[in-house]
Structure 1
Amino acid sequence: MSIVLAHAHNPSADAAFDFALAEAVAHHCKLVIVNSSRGAALADPALASDEQLTALEARATAAGVAVEIERPMRGNDADAEVLEAAEQHSAKMIVIGTRHRSAMGKFILGSTAQRIIMDADVPVVAVKPPKS
């Protein structure tokens, strides 16, 4: 069993990671972190740096959680990559970070979170960043 974290480099990422890590500890699950890009370019702003992912891995390991990091760059949308990882790793849940976007932004770009929530075969937990 695993918990899949859809990790994008945005303000909700830390809150989502904290929640996913706590759940992995509580349920003795592996944590699978999926950080995806649509193309093969590492310049995508949604991609975390190697240093950021290494830091997440170190935090999970220090908490006693096995962790696997996936950075697929096959041209698929992030939702497809997260859902595929959930299936491959027999996920018991998917954790996603949410952020506020305008209605027009959602219309033009779609909503990765919404597609994951609607298409997942397992529970999805949406975590928002704390108010500053």
Structure 2
Amino acid sequence: MTVVVGYLPTAPGHAALDAAILEAERRGTDLMVVQPRPRRQPSPEAGTDVDIAQERLSRAGVRYELREPAHDSDPADVILDTAREHQAELIVLGIRKRSPVGKIIMASTAQRVLLESPCPVLCVKAVYD
């Protein structure tokens, strides 16, 4: 069994990664980190999003695997497929507040994962000052 986390280098993404690390430690299981590839190449001097996630994961000491789908992949599909493929016992997502117009215009990855998930889903919010 495994814990799957949808990760983006945002405040909700960092909160999801931290919660997923804690859940993987608590459950004594592996962690699958689904992180979309960046749309543009970062400068060589700057750390990449993958580096940031790997640093956090290495410090935690949990066994993990990074899955980097192509930027044109649907994140909800990738998260759900990964959960099914690895028989996940939990999916962790970072969520944020959206405006009423944003809810109408854009489909929510979190909403799709919640409705179609084969296992429980833990949604976490970032702590804002």
**What's 2:68 paired with?**
71
**What's 2:36 paired with?**
36
Tell me the percent identity. 31
Quote the offset at 1:84 in angstroms.
0.4
| 1:36-71 deviation line (CA, Å, top 9, x unaligned) | 36xxx723xxxxx97232232233233221111111
Preserved CA contact (<8 Å) 1:57 1:67: no
Q: Secondary structure at the match of 2:11?
A: coil
**What's 2:43 paired with?**
none
Q: For 2:36 and 2:102, locate their aligned partners in 1 and report how far apart those are by CA, in whole Å.
A: 20
Quote the offset at 1:29 in angstroms.
1.1
Q: For 1:54 and 1:74, locate their aligned partners in 2 and report how far apart those are by CA, in whole Å.
A: 18
AA in 1 matched with 2:113: I
Asked whether 1:26 is paired with 2:26, we answer: yes
1:119 maps to which of 105, 116, 119:
116
Aligned pairs, number: 125
Asked whether 1:108 is paired with 2:105, we answer: yes
1:58 maps to which of 55, 60, 63:
55
Quote the offset at 1:73 in angstroms.
1.2
Q: For 1:22 and 1:87, locate their aligned partners in 2 and report how far apart those are by CA, in whole Å.
A: 21
Query: Normalising to structure 1: TM-score of the pair?
Result: 0.84
Structure 1: runs of 5 or more not aligned: 44-48
Q: Secondary structure at the match of 1:82?
A: helix
Q: For 2:18 and 2:111, locate their aligned partners in 1 and report how far apart those are by CA, in whole Å.
A: 21
AA in 1 matched with 2:20: A
| 1:64-101 deviation line (CA, Å, top 9, x unaligned) | 21111111117331100100011111111000000111
1:97 maps to which of 90, 94, 99:
94
Q: Secondary structure at the match of 2:48?
A: helix
Preserved CA contact (<8 Å) 1:7 1:33: yes
Query: Normalising to structure 2: TM-score of the pair?
Result: 0.86
| 1:3-45 deviation line (CA, Å, top 9, x unaligned) | 10011232211111110001111111111110136xxx723xx
Runs of 4+ in structure 1 over 3 Å off: none
